[in-house]
Amino acid sequence: MTLKELGIKDTAVITKVGGEGALRQHFLDMGVIPGAEVTVVKFAPMGDPVELMIHGYKLTLRLDDAAKIEVRPAKSQSVKEEIARKKKKREHPGLGEGGKFHPKGSGDPLPDGTLLTFALVGNQNSGKTTLFNRLTGTNQHVGNFPGVTVDRKDGPIQEHKNTLVTDLPGIYSMSPYSSEEIVSRNFVLDEKPRAIINIVDATNVGRNLYLTMQLLEMGIPMVVALNMMDEVVGNGGSIDVNAMEELLGVPVLPISASKNEGVAELVDHAIHVAHYQEKPQRQDFCDESDHGGAVHRCLHAIAHLIEDHARRADIPVRFAASKVIEGDPLIISQLGLDQNETETMEHIVRQMENERGLDRSAAIADMRYSFIQRVCDETVTKPKESRERLRSEKIDRYLTGKYTAIPFFIGIMGLVFWLTFSVIGAWLQGLLETGIDALSGIADEAMTAAGVNEVIHGLIIDGIFAGVGSVLSFLPIIVTLFFFLSMLEDSGYIARVAFFMDKLLRRIGLSGRSIVPMLIGFGCTVPAVMATRTLPSERDRKMTILLTPFMSCTAKVPIYSFFIAAFFPQYGWLIMTGLYLLGILTAIVIAYFYRGTMFRGKAAPFVMELPDYRMPGARNVAQLLWEKAKDFLQRAFSIIMIATIVVWFLQSFDFTFNLVSDSQSSILAMISGLVAPIMRPIGLGDWRICTSLISGFMAKESVVSTIQILFGGSISSVMAPITAATLLVFSLLYTPCVAAVASIKREMGMKWAVNVVIWQCIIAWIVAFIVRLVLITVI
C-alpha cells in the first residue's frame, strides 16, 4: 500500500521511501523516513496535492510523489505516547532561566578585537529574520512563507563591537535541495563563521533538531536559540532547557524573538562561545545499541578511514563521514579518496545496509531521528493541543476547504485591490495630491514674485513639480498594496495559496511554489525575481522569472490610474481589473508556449511545509512599509527626478541649444522620431508617447511624469481614447524597468536579460496591435 491510497484522517507507518536522488534525500530530510507515522490531513481543493501530518508538523506532497512512499496502516500512536509522557515530572524553567552549560571565562580566548562572525542558521519560518532584526536593529523583510529570505544579509549586533551576524536562507538539512539552500550550506562550510546561532522553533523541536544535529557535526562553536517559547509556554507546554543542553552539548537559550525575550542573554552566550571558541561537546549521536549498532560502527569506521582526507579538504570529519554514507557526491569528490578507499568505504556501507535493513540515506536519517526522539522524550512536555494549531485548523477549514478555497482566494485578492485602489490608497492619494498642488502653487507664486529666470521657473514648475509630483502622489497606493501583500505573506496564507494552486499551475508546467514570486510580482518584479531562488528546479525557476514581469507591478499603477482618470473615469474598476487580468492571461499563454518549446519536462516536486497561521508582528510590518516608502521616495528623487529634468531639458532646447518655442523641433522630438515608425502601426507613433515609453524603461512611473511634461495640462483633449487604451496595454507588457532587468541578469545571465527586453517589447507590440484592432472595429 502507498501513501497515495490513504484517505482523510487515515494514519499509517511508512515502510519504504522510493524516489531517487535529491528528491529522495529531501523526503528523508523532511522526516519522511521508514518507521515514521503519517496522518492524512486533507487534499487540496482540486484533489492534489495532499497535506500530511508527520513528526508533529504539516507537510504537503503531490499524489505522484506520495505514490512512491510505501506504508502500512496503523492505529494512531501519539495518544498513547502523550499519556506516558505526562506522568514524568518535569522542571519548568521560565524564559531566560536555566543552567549554563559551559563554564564561563575559561579556555583559550581569541585575541581581543577579533571580528566575531555569526551565522544565523535554522529551518524556514523559525524566526531567523525576526531575530536578525532584533540583533542588528535593521529591518529585513520577515514573512511566514518558506523562503522569504532569499539572499544573505549581514549586520553588526547592536551595542557589541566587532560582531557581524549573517541572516541565511532557511534550510532543513545540510544537503541542499534548492539554490538558496546552497547559499546557506556553502556559507557555513566555506566562510567558517566564528560561531553559529542555530535558531530552533520550540513549537516543533522534533523537526528542527534534524538540522541542529548536522550543524553540531561541523564542530563550529554554536548556541541553540529556542525561539517561539512564548507560544510553547502560552499553551501550557515546557522544555527542559538544562536537559537539552546536556544532550546536545551546546548552550540552549529559550527566547521569543518577536517579543524580545531572552535575546540579550542569547547574545551574551553567543559572544562567549565565539570568543572562547567553545566547540560543541557532542558530535556523536549514533547509539551503540540501536538496531545492533550497525550505523554506529559504520559511521565510526568511515570517520577513521577518511580522517586525513577530510582534514586536507578542510571538512569536519564527522560531517564528512555522515555525508559520505548518505552518498553526497559533492563531499565525496572533495575528499578525493583513492580507489582502494572508495571500495572499502562502499563495502562498509553495504555491510551496514544489510545489517540495518535500510539503505544508506534512510539509515542515517533514521539514526538522527531516533536521537531526536530521545531528546524530545526527555526534554519536551508538549501541550495537549496548541492554540495556534487549533486556530490554524479552523481557519484552514475555509481557506483551503474543498469548495471554499478558490472563492476565498478571489475574494481576498479582490478585497486587497479594492481597498488599495479605491478606499485607503485613493483617499491618501487625494490628500497628498492636494498637498503637492498647494506646494507647487506657492512655489510658482514665490518665483514669479522674485522674478526668477523663466527657464529655471519652467524647469521647476513644469519639469520637477509636474513630473516628480505626479509620481509622488502614488506613494500611498504603493505602500498600501505592499502592506496587504506582506500581511498575506506574513500570516502564512500565501503558503496555502501555493498548496491549492499547485494543480492549476502544473497545467502550465509550473509548481505551486511559483505562485509566490508571481504574487510578489504584483508589488515589484525585483524581489519577485529574487524569490524564485526558493524554487528547487532550475527549469521552474527560469520559467517563473520570465513570467513575473507580466504581473502588473506597483510602478505601473500610476500609469493605469493616470489614464483611467483622464479618459475612462466611469469604467475605472473594469479597466484596472482588465489590465491585471490581461497580464496574467498573457503569462499563461506564454507559459504554454514555453512548456511546449524551451522548457519541456515536468514541474518540480512539491514538498513544502505549511506553517501555522501567525499574527504578523506590527513592528515587522511597519518596518517593511517604511523601507518601501523610503525606497520609493529615493527613486522619485533620484532616477525619476533626473529623468524628468533630462526630458524637460531635451524638449526645451534644439541641437543648437536654443530654447525652442514648439517642442516639436526639440532634440527630444528628433531622437524619438527614430523609434516612431515602429510604433506607428499601433497608433503610438507620436514622438511624445515614444519618449515617455523610453523613459519608462528607467522607471515605469516616468511614463506618467514624461507625458505630464510633454503634453502639458489636459491630456484627454489631445489624445484619442483608443490611443490611450493601446498605450495602457503596451505599458503593461513591454520591457520591465532597468532594475528588474538587472535582477534578471543576475539570476539568468546577460543573454536572457537582453532577450527579455526584446521579447517583451515584441509581445507588447503584438498584443497592443490586436487590442487596437478590436477596439477600432468595435467602437
**Residues 190-229 as x/- pattern, contact with ligand GDP by CB under 6 A:** -------------------------------------xx-
Minimum gap (Å) between residue 721 Cβ and ligand GDP: 46
- Identify which range of 62-70, 142-150, 338-346, 575-583 contacts ligand GDP by CB under 6 A: 142-150
Distance from C-alpha of 672 to C-alpha of 685, rounded to nearest angstrom = 9
Q: Are 695 and 703 in contact (CB under 8 A)?
A: yes
Residue of the chain from 29, 37, 180, 230 that contacts ligand GDP (CB under 6 A): 230
- Identify which range of 75-83, 255-263, 586-594, 599-607 contacts ligand GDP by CB under 6 A: 255-263
| Dihedral sign of CA atoms 258, 259, 261, 267 in order | positive
Alpha carbon of 134 to those of 126, 131, 219, 388, 717: distances in Å?
A: 14, 5, 27, 23, 55
Residue of the chain from 48, 181, 231, 609 that contacts ligand GDP (CB under 6 A): 231
Closer residue to Mg ion (CB): 129 or 175: 129
Strands (DSSP E) contained in 553-609 are 608-609
The 3 state secondary structure assigned to 537-553 is CHHHHHHHHHHHHHCCC
b/e per residue, 127-159, with b = 16+ CB within 10 A? bbbbbbbbbbebbbbbbbbbbbbbebbbbbbee
- Identify which range of 137-145, 240-248, 351-359, 391-399 contacts ligand GDP by CB under 6 A: 137-145
Residue of the chain from 17, 59, 148, 165 that contacts ligand GDP (CB under 6 A): 148
Contact of residue 228 among Mg ion, ligand GDP, none (CB under 5-8 Å per partner type): ligand GDP
Residue type, 234: G
Q: Are 578 and 360 in contact (CB under 8 A)?
A: no
Q: Are 312 and 337 in contact (CB under 8 A)?
A: no
Closer residue to Mg ion (CB): 129 or 238: 129
Closer residue to ligand GDP (CB): 30 or 295: 30
What is the CA angle 321-322-328, rounded to 5?
A: 95
Q: Write down the residue that cell numbers 511624469 correspond to.
A: 705
Using CB under 6 A as the binding rule, whether residue 652 contacts ligand GDP is answered as no
Minimum gap (Å) between residue 253 Cβ and ligand GDP: 12
Burial status of residue 50 (CB atoms within 10 A of its CB: 0-12, 13-18, 19 or more) = buried
| C-alpha grid cell, residue 211 | 538540522
- Identify which range of 26-34, 83-91, 138-146, 177-185 contacts ligand GDP by CB under 6 A: 138-146
Using CB under 6 A as the binding rule, whether residue 149 contacts ligand GDP is answered as yes
Minimum gap (Å) between residue 29 Cβ and ligand GDP: 17
Closer residue to ligand GDP (CB): 71 or 399: 399
3-state secondary structure at position 338: coil
Range 114-117 contact pairs with CB under 8 angstroms and sequence separation of 24 or more: 114/162, 114/194, 115/162, 115/163, 115/164, 115/194, 116/162, 116/163, 116/164, 116/194, 116/195, 116/271, 116/274, 116/275, 117/163, 117/164, 117/165, 117/166, 117/191, 117/193, 117/194, 117/195, 117/274
Minimum gap (Å) between residue 149 Cβ and Mg ion: 3
Using CB under 6 A as the binding rule, whether residue 473 contacts ligand GDP is answered as no
Minimum gap (Å) between residue 463 Cβ and ligand GDP: 42
Contact of residue 31 among Mg ion, ligand GDP, none (CB under 5-8 Å per partner type): none
Query: Which phi and psi angles does 310 have, rounded to 5°?
Result: -60, -40
Distance from C-alpha of 432 to C-alpha of 438, rounded to nearest angstrom = 10
Residue of the chain from 12, 38, 121, 142 that contacts ligand GDP (CB under 6 A): 142
Contact of residue 230 among ligand GDP, Mg ion, none (CB under 5-8 Å per partner type): ligand GDP
Q: Strand pairing partners for 12?
A: 38, 73
Minimum gap (Å) between residue 392 Cβ and ligand GDP: 12
- Identify which range of 122-130, 288-296, 395-403, 409-417 contacts ligand GDP by CB under 6 A: 122-130
Residue of the chain from 144, 537, 548, 586 that contacts ligand GDP (CB under 6 A): 144
| Half-sphere exposure in the Cβ direction for 160 (13 Å, CA) | 25
Using CB under 6 A as the binding rule, whether residue 256 contacts ligand GDP is answered as yes
Closer residue to Mg ion (CB): 128 or 323: 128
Using CB under 6 A as the binding rule, whether residue 498 contacts ligand GDP is answered as no
Radius of gyration (C-alpha) of the chain in whole angstroms: 30
Distance from C-alpha of 576 to C-alpha of 420, rounded to nearest angstrom = 12
Residue of the chain from 127, 251, 517, 605 that contacts ligand GDP (CB under 6 A): 127
Minimum gap (Å) between residue 525 Cβ and ligand GDP: 22
Contact of residue 617 among Mg ion, ligand GDP, none (CB under 5-8 Å per partner type): ligand GDP
- Identify which range of 70-78, 399-407, 574-582, 611-619 contacts ligand GDP by CB under 6 A: 611-619
Using CB under 6 A as the binding rule, whether residue 124 contacts ligand GDP is answered as yes
| Dihedral sign of CA atoms 340, 345, 350, 352 in order | positive
Contact of residue 50 among Mg ion, ligand GDP, none (CB under 5-8 Å per partner type): none
Residue of the chain from 490, 609, 686, 701 that contacts ligand GDP (CB under 6 A): 490
Determine the angle formed by the axes of helices 405-418 and 475-491, rounding to 10 degrees.
Answer: 150
Closer residue to ligand GDP (CB): 257 or 375: 257
- Quick count: other Cβ atoms within 10 Å of Cβ 90? 15
Helices (H), 169-262: 179-190, 205-217, 229-234, 241-248
Closer residue to ligand GDP (CB): 210 or 567: 210
Q: Write out the DSSP string of 57-102.
A: EEEEE-HHHHTTEEEEE----HHHHHHHHHHS------TT-S--SS
- Identify which range of 125-133, 699-707, 721-729, 736-744 contacts ligand GDP by CB under 6 A: 125-133
Contacts to Mg ion by CB under 5 A: 128-129, 148-149
- Identify which range of 78-86, 593-601, 609-617, 738-746 contacts ligand GDP by CB under 6 A: 609-617
Q: What is the DSSP letter of 43?
A: E
Closer residue to Mg ion (CB): 171 or 715: 171
Distance from C-alpha of 545 to C-alpha of 495, rounded to nearest angstrom = 19
- Identify which range of 254-262, 446-454, 465-473, 663-671 contacts ligand GDP by CB under 6 A: 254-262
Virtual CA dihedral for 80, 86, 88, 93, nearest 10 degrees?
140
Distance from C-alpha of 666 to C-alpha of 247, rounded to nearest angstrom = 78
Residue of the chain from 25, 60, 129, 652 that contacts ligand GDP (CB under 6 A): 129
Using CB under 6 A as the binding rule, whether residue 170 contacts ligand GDP is answered as yes
Among all residues, whose Cβ is closest to ligand GDP? Answer: 127
By residue count, the chain amounts to 779
Distance from C-alpha of 261 to C-alpha of 255, rounded to nearest angstrom = 5
The 3 state secondary structure assigned to 597-614 is CCCCCCCCCCCEECCCCC
Closer residue to ligand GDP (CB): 139 or 162: 139
Residue of the chain from 309, 506, 614, 635 that contacts ligand GDP (CB under 6 A): 614
Size of the site for ligand GDP (CB under 6 A): 26
Contact of residue 3 among ligand GDP, Mg ion, none (CB under 5-8 Å per partner type): none
Sorted by sequence, the CB contacts under 8 Å of residue 153 that are 6+ apart come out as 132, 138, 140, 166, 167
Helices (H), 618-749: 618-635, 641-652, 667-679, 687-696, 702-711, 721-733, 738-748
Closer residue to ligand GDP (CB): 304 or 387: 387
Minimum gap (Å) between residue 153 Cβ and Mg ion: 9
Minimum gap (Å) between residue 428 Cβ and ligand GDP: 26
Contact positions toward ligand GDP, by CB under 6 A?
122, 124-130, 142-144, 148-149, 170, 227-228, 230-231, 256-258, 490, 614, 616-617, 620
